[in-house]
Each structure stands twice: as structure tokens, then as C-alpha cells.
């Protein structure tokens, strides 16, 4: 009888441990991180989520949202000299070439073209400075209290920062825009002689992944904003300064779907 009780108790303990393991909050190498339900905003996991940080090319989430909200993707623009030769990741735009806004948007979010960011800013508002004002007005409208934009591309600047929590909130809103969602979920895009592949490896590696944006500078570290959908549930994960971001995001998203 005692032996049977011990066996039953051991079985219950093992089951409890498995349940705890399945639902234990994920551990990440990130300086800051957050996982939210993209529809309800519910926070499922957080780590230093309100710490302000450089955000590198995840800045382009706001740039892309403003273009998607405002511009006709079929419209065409002529590349101006100020959009040529921007440092960092690039589409290698040439002065005087004519491209559609849609192709520049794909170049912005798949190739992470800093030159595409400048070209789009110029198209919408005439110059970078006016576009940055628009970015900051939109951030205020969306309640992103710990976010400030200093440029449309995310190259390091003391005036360009956000938090994991604000990036998740921004992304949740942006994914409600059809054009934005289509662009960031696209794996490859070809126009003219350019063939682009999305830098977001989760689109190939993670079941249900729908985007969103990578970022990196030496000062900011590796930054990743990802989103995935399964069975009607949309999750958004953000990590800032995380050298193991692909694996961490997979664990975070798995954890979130286990809770849904």
C-alpha cells in the first residue's frame, strides 16, 4: 500500500514538474525584452521592458507605418542626391533613378536600406527633418511615452531611442495596416535588377511567423521585433541587445502560444 502511494506521489510530482517546465517563463540573454498578445496588448513576459535603448533599424517600423498609412505604393519617385551613399545597410540607390514607393518600402523592410528610408522621408515630407517631426507626432499619438526619433533609419543617435514595451505597442498597431503586414511578412521581393531577401530568419524557421524587423549597430547590439500567428492568436516579441535573439524569440513565442 505504501509503495503504491509512493509511486502515485512520484507520478504526480513528475507531472507537476512537466507542467511547470511547459509553462515556465522563458529566459533570454536580452538586456530588455517583452512578449505581448498583439490583439489585446496583454503582457505575457517582460524583462526591463521600459528601459530606454538605441533601437537601430527597428526604427524603420515607424517609417514603414507612416508610408503605408499615407502613400500610394504604385506612385513613383526620383531618387535625390541626399538619399545616395547613406552608411550602413543599403539598396545602393542611384541619383536620378525612378522607383515606386512600394519597391522602396520592400527595400526598407527586407533589405533594411538606410538609403530607402531617406528617399521615402523625402518623398512624403520633402526632407528628413520634416519627416522626423511626423514620426515623433505619431509616436505621441500612439502613446509611446519612452520613444523619440532622430532619423528615419535608426543609425545611432542620442535622439533616437525606444523601449521593448513601446516597440511592441508600435508593432501591434502597425500590423493592423494591410500594406505594412504584407511587406514585413514577405520573404523575397524582386524589382528591376534588385533581388531582396528578408533579413528576418524566423520567416523561414518559425511556424506562423509574419515579420517584423531586425536591427543592429555596434552600440545598440542585436535587436529583433518578431510576430507570429497561430489559430487566431497573434503574438509580438521584442528583444534589445540580445546575442541569441533567434533562439530566444522562438522560446518566447512558444511560451506565448502555450498560454493561449
Mean pLDDT by 10 residues, the chain (260 residues): 50 45 74 98 97 98 98 98 97 98 98 98 98 98 98 97 98 98 98 97 98 97 98 98 97 94
Which of 32, 47, 53, 60 is the catalytic position? 60
What is the model's pLDDT at position 27?
Answer: 86
Question: Using CA atoms, how far apart are residues 115 and 104, in angstroms rounded to an integer?
Answer: 9
Selecting among 57, 89, 162, 226, the annotated active-site residue is: 57
* Secondary element (H or E) of residue 205: helix 202-205
Is residue 60 annotated as part of the catalytic site, yes or no?
A: yes
Q: What are phi and psi of 130, to 5 degrees?
A: -65, -35
User: Is 7 inside any structural domain?
Assistant: no
pLDDT given at position 248: 97
- The pLDDT assigned to 238 comes to 98
185 is catalytic: no
Question: What is the extent of the structural domain holding 108?
Answer: 28-259
Q: pTM of the prediction?
A: 0.91
Give the model's pLDDT for residue 95.
98
- The reply to whether 2 falls in a domain is no
Q: Domain holding 113: CATH number?
A: 3.40.710.10
For residue 260, the model assigns a pLDDT of 80
Distance (Å, whole) CA 55 – CA 238: 11
Q: Report how many domains make up the chain.
A: 1
Contact at 8 Å (CB) between 236 and 230? no
Residue 225 lies in a domain: yes
Residue showing cell 520613444: 147
**120, 83 Cβ separation under 8 angstroms:** no
Write down the pLDDT at residue 1.
52
* Annotation marks residue 90 as catalytic: no
- 19 located within any domain: no
What is the pLDDT, as a whole number, of residue 23?
57
> How much is the pLDDT for 19?
43
Residue pair 83/119 in contact (Cβ under 8 Å)? The answer is yes
Task: Check residue 82 and give its pLDDT.
Answer: 97
Residue 48 lies in a domain: yes
The per-residue pLDDT for 221 is 97
The residues that bridge with 194 in the sheet, in sequence order, are 191
Answer whether 54's CB lies under 8 Å from 216's CB. Answer: no
Catalytic-role residue among 32, 89, 112, 162: 112
- Cell triple for 34: 517583452
The answer as to whether 232 is a domain residue is yes
Q: Residue 95 domain-assigned?
A: yes
- Residue 98 belongs to a domain: yes
Amino acid at each position: 500500500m505504501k509503495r503504491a502511494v509512493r509511486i502515485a506521489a512520484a507520478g504526480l510530482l513528475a507531472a507537476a514538474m512537466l507542467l511547470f517546465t511547459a509553462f515556465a517563463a522563458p529566459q533570454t540573454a536580452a538586456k530588455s525584452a517583452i512578449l505581448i498578445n498583439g490583439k489585446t496588448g496583454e503582457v505575457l513576459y517582460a524583462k526591463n521592458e521600459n528601459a530606454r535603448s538605441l533601437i537601430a533599424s527597428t526604427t524603420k517600423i515607424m517609417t514603414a507605418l507612416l508610408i503605408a498609412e499615407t502613400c500610394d505604393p504604385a506612385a513613383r519617385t526620383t531618387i535625390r542626391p541626399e538619399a545616395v551613399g547613406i552608411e550602413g545597410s543599403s539598396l545602393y540607390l542611384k541619383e536620378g533613378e525612378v522607383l515606386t514607393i512600394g519597391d522602396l518600402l520592400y527595400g526598407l523592410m527586407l533589405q533594411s536600406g538606410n538609403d530607402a528610408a531617406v528617399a521615402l522621408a523625402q518623398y512624403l515630407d520633402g526632407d528628413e527633418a520634416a519627416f522626423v517631426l511626423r514620426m515623433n507626432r505619431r509616436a505621441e499619438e500612439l502613446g509611446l511615452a519612452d520613444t523619440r526619433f532622430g532619423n528615419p533609419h535608426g543609425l545611432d543617435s542620442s535622439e533616437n531611442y525606444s523601449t521593448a514595451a513601446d516597440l511592441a505597442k508600435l508593432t501591434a498597431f502597425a500590423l493592423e495596416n494591410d500594406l505594412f503586414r504584407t511587406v514585413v511578412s514577405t520573404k523575397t521581393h524582386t524589382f528591376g535588377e534588385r533581388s531582396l531577401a528578408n533579413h528576418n530568419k524566423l520567416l523561414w524557421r518559425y511556424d506562423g511567423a509574419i515579420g517584423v524587423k531586425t536591427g543592429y549597430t555596434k552600440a545598440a547590439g542585436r535587436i529583433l521585433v518578431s510576430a507570429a500567428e497561430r489559430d487566431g492568436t497573434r503574438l509580438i516579441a521584442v528583444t534589445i541587445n540580445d546575442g541569441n535573439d533567434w533562439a530566444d524569440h522562438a522560446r518566447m513565442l512558444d511560451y506565448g502560444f502555450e498560454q493561449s
